[in-house]
Chain A
Amino acid sequence: MGRYTIRRLLQMIPVLIGTTFIIYAMVWALPGDPFSGKCGQRPCPPAYVAEMTAKFNLNDPLPVQYFKYLVNLLQGNFGESFSGRPVWDEIMQAFPVTFRLALIAIIFEIVIGISAGILAALNRGGFWDNLVLISTLIVISIPVFVIGFLAQFTFGIKLGWFPPTVGPNATVYELLLPALVLASLSLAYVARLMRGNLTENLRADYVRTATSKGLSRQRVIGRHAVRNSLIPVVTFIGADFGALLGGAIVTEGIFNIRGIGGLLYLSIRTREGATVVGVVTVLVLVFLLVNLIVDILYGAIDPRIRYE
């Protein structure tokens, strides 16, 4: 277990270096004027250009530029918004709301997604199975922003069950509808993944063994089949949490939530390029970190992985 963790940590280093390099290259080394679109609607003032050129060492050769940038990142310096506020501060301010939203979304995924998957797998070919298959297919096909608007229009505006937008306090009740929208896509994947795994596992030899041991059907399914089927699902949900912490741009934008996604959404709309880049960098790093944690967790819940 220890060796596995260390190996995963070591493997992480080149990926971290590589991804930050790609981000850097995409932002500052693309052909053309790197300052276009980074200062709102107007062209960047010369003072800003000079400052940024110095800050990002744009006159140095690319590897040197990148190295200096990496050192900045390691010191927690993710750049400043156009107004001069450190991006890191803005992120930290927005983070609690996003975290709460992601947590509620994950709970939806776990509760609804897993139960729908189990229900479908246990009724293969039956009514519930087809209902789950068709509804998840529809959810997967409709882009999140469309689902978001539909939900906002139907439940927020027409029916008035939920507030159509979220206030500055972002209470749990206000976040319920956005969280459901945010969770919808992953929820559909979780349901399908669970259904597929469980169906396969129900046919597995060891489930037959469990039955022939004289265990009740409940125990066969609950302790043996479901537990094994949950391993990849838990991994998926874990990785998804990483994505949700950053991927909520659209949902937060639609429901006017002042989280990280909302910050990014606004920065894109107001063409605050520097903020966009800083926030995206942080989000990618968070995504990588959560994935690493999930990988290590995977080793803990599946004994086969540890000893490979």
Chain B
Amino acid sequence: MSDPNASMAAAAPETVEKETYLGSDLPPAPGDKEKSRSLWSDAWRELKSNKVFIISLVLIVVFLIMTFFPQVFTFGKDPMACDLTKSRQAPSSEAWFGYDNNGCDVYTRTIYGAKASILVGVFATLFTMLLGGFIGVIAGFFGGWVDSILSRLTDIFFAIPLLLGGILVLTSFPASDSTNLYSEVAKVVLALGILGWTSMTRIMRSSVIQVRNADFVVAARALGAKNSRIINKHVVPNSLAPLIVLATISLGGYIGAEATLSFLGLGLQPPVISWGTMINDAQPYIRVAPFMLFFPAFFLSIAVLSFIMLGDAVREALDPKLR
């Protein structure tokens, strides 16, 4: 969206398009396999030349390396190796981001903090995408009373704001003294996923409904294809695009939500290192050692920004109307 070229392109004349192509007696091919293939390959071609996409992709790859191989960036420093005598020392050539209250190296911890955030983002997205997508397909494809029940259910969960719901779940969650990163992550994923799936359901349902009545689905049904086959071969591939766009953007959102919950002291708990907990730790010292807060906050913002930009770029590429 921020790419000036893309905005220019979107301003291209509707009139010409209508005049030039609609009259060619060749209506756009129905969204069969052929189309979905060309939609994706079209989108890919569009993306490859999109600067925003390339930048966000590079950033995301960097964050993924931080997640799985933090040593690459930290030159083997241990995030737990802290020296209280260095407490809250300002950034220097020795410690680029300074030291935190416990005398831990902020740079090393910021790098290690990527893991928790990325994991929460990825798993919360997968969780909501699979659950929400599944419910959306069922509701949209079968319609009728199935749709009514599932849609009402979605409405109910949708009515509770994500952050409030997350607070509720995490407040009520039986406290555990677990310091295991993965069980902590799972807890936060659950808190976010329990309410987050509804937007996925809504978008999948409406896009399935559009596809459901398309000629090629009617034709497949007339040919006697089973529902499961129609769903797998025709409906899902052709209605997936909006879900993927939403999922990419949501990933950024979940990372932000995790940080907010951790900041409130509800999400991930120390000693698990995450940007949210680091910011929470730094909060009381904002006047004396603002760098403790700025660096993790900066990384966090860049991570969220990357996924939102990626989602924006993918949406632009997949939606011919925006071109």
Contacts and interface: CB of A to CB of B under 8 A. Distances in A.
A32 B174 contact: yes
A186 interface: no
Nearest to B158: A15
A284 B1 CA distance: 33
Contact of B11 (A125, A268, A276): A125
B155 interface: yes
Contacts of B173: 30, 32, 37
B231 to A, nearest CB: 27
A178 B160 CA distance: 24
A217 to B, nearest CB: 17
Interface band, chain B: 35 or more
A29 to B, nearest CB: 9
Given A143-B304, A284-B161, A30 B297 contact: no
Contact of B167 (A32, A134, A141, A268): A268
B161 A246 contact: yes
A283 interface: yes
Interface in A104-160: 124-125, 129-130, 133-134, 137-138, 140-146, 149-150, 152-153, 157
Contacts of B168: 23, 26-27, 276-277, 280
Main secondary structure on chain B at its contact with chain A? Answer: helix
Contact of A142 (B10, B14, B160, B304): B304
* Residue among A141, A192, A203, A273 facing the most chain B CB atoms (10 A cut-off): A141
Nearest to A253: B264
Contacts of B1: 133, 137, 192
The interface residues of chain A, by DSSP majority, are classed as: helix
Given A33-B174, A37-B171, 19 more contacts: A15-B152, A18-B152, A23-B168, A30-B174, A32-B173, A32-B174, A34-B172, A133-B7, A137-B309, A141-B305, A142-B297, A142-B304, A146-B279, A152-B286, A246-B164, A247-B164, A276-B168, A280-B168, A287-B161
Interface of B: 1-2, 4, 7-8, 10-11, 14, 152-153, 155-157, 159-161, 163-165, 167-169, 171-175, 194, 252, 256, 259-260, 263-266, 279, 283, 286-287, 290, 293, 297, 300-302, 304-305, 308-309, 312
24 contacts: A14-B156, A18-B157, A26-B169, A26-B194, A32-B173, A37-B174, A124-B10, A125-B8, A130-B7, A137-B305, A138-B305, A142-B304, A143-B297, A143-B304, A145-B263, A146-B300, A149-B286, A153-B290, A157-B286, A192-B1, A249-B163, A273-B171, A280-B167, A287-B160
In the A-B complex, the 6 residue pairs with the smallest Cβ-Cβ separation, listed nearest first, are: A32-B174, A18-B156, A141-B305, A146-B297, A142-B301, A143-B256
